[in-house]
Amino acid sequence: MNKKTLRLIEKGTNYTPLEGRILIAPNKIRTHKDKGFESRPVDPDSDPMDPDREMIMQEVITDVNNNFQTGIVIQKPEDETRFNVGDTIVFQLRALQEFDLIKGVSMIRKYDVEFIEKPGF
How many structural domains is the chain composed of?
2
Q: Do both 71 and 112 map to the same domain?
A: yes
Least confident of 48-52, 58-62, 91-95, 107-111: 48-52
Distance CA 51, CA 8 (A): 58
Per cent of the chain over pLDDT 70 is 98
- 121 inside domain: no
Could you give the CA distance from residue 63 to residue 15 in angstroms, rounded to a whole number? 35
Q: pLDDT-derived band of residue 114, with 50, 70 and 90 as boundaries?
A: very high
29 φ, ψ (degrees, to nearest 5): -60, 125
Same domain, 76 and 104: yes
> In this structure, are 101 and 112 located in the same domain?
yes
Write down the pLDDT at residue 121: 58
In a domain, 47, yes or no: yes
Range of the domain at 82: 3-30+67-116
**50 and 24 share one domain:** no
Output DSSP code: residue 111: G
pTM of the entire structure? Answer: 0.76
